[in-house]
Amino acid sequence: MLRFLTLGPKGGNHGFVLRRYLAAHGLRLQERAIIGYVQDFHDGAGQVMAGEADFLLQCAVHPAAPEITGRYRNSLFVVDAFVSPSQPMALLRSTHPAAAEGEAHDAVGLQPATEHYVDLSRWPNRVFEPTVSKVGEGLLCGRYAAGIAFESLARDYPDRLQIVQPIGAVCDAWIVYGPRPVDRGQTLVWTSSPAAALFKEIDDDAVANRR
């Protein structure tokens, strides 16, 4: 079976998107593919380069993406890229007693890529976490007063979290790395993609408007 790695934990956004990606390719879990989770992308890159795993998935806006693509450029290669929505997110408020004490009362927890999703001016103290899942953990234990986390947490823990502002699903670009290059020096473009159809639609409209 093909072994795909991505950033943990299991219930995080990387795993959510990877499962969608494998389903789109018809790679049924436990039949044709398995998913492994790493806490650090360098660990995942090392496993692929050592032949201990086959592919690594990373969100293109993750802060570690430039370093992974640059540091391992001669032995870890981009083999695919795609777009996918995330799990729905929201700005949540913690009702844990610790969230109202000390520095936590004006702190907001964030994964860096989510920092500009909503107005956070009410919370001047920003605490950055490596994943959205970690933000959720911080909210549940009152590490900060508010944070951008998965909206489902508010449904799972209605006595500990409140939705301040829904954000919804955010569509990001995703990178798949593998041990061998696939481009052969060429630019690989999906010319029948939805983007190609959009290019044609806009171009056709422009031509029609010039007539």
**Which amino acid, 99?**
A
Note whether 61 and 69 are within 8 A (CB): no
What pLDDT, on the 0 to 100 scale, is given for residue 210?
Answer: 73
For 43-67, how does the pLDDT look when each residue is reduced to its tens digit (9 = 90+)? 999 999 999 999 999 999 998 999 9
pLDDT of residue 208: 76
Task: Check if the beta carbon of residue 76 is closer than 8 Å to that of residue 49.
Answer: yes
pLDDT for 95 equals 96
Residue 209 has a pLDDT of 79
Nearest CA-CA partner of 60 in 33, 86, 35: 86
Count of all residues that appear for the chain in the document: 211
Pick out the chain residues at pLDDT < 50.
Answer: none
Burial letters 85-124, b for 16+ CB under 10 A, else e = ebbebbbbbbbbeebeeeebeebbbbbebbeebbebeebe
Q: Which residues contact 195 (CB under 8 A, 6 or more apart)?
A: none
Q: Which residues pair with 106 in a beta bridge?
A: none
pLDDT of residue 14: 96
Three-class SS state of 205: helix
Return d(Cα 109, Cα 178) in angstroms, integer.
33
Q: State the Cα–Cα distance between residues 137 and 124, nearest whole angstrom.
A: 20
List, as one string, the DSSP characters of 56-107: EEEETTSTTHHHHHHHTTTTSEEEEEEEEE---EEEEEE-SGGGGSGGGGGE
Neighbours of 13 (CB within 10 A): 23
> Is residue 152 left, alpha or beta, with left meaning phi > 0 and alpha meaning psi from -120 to 50?
alpha
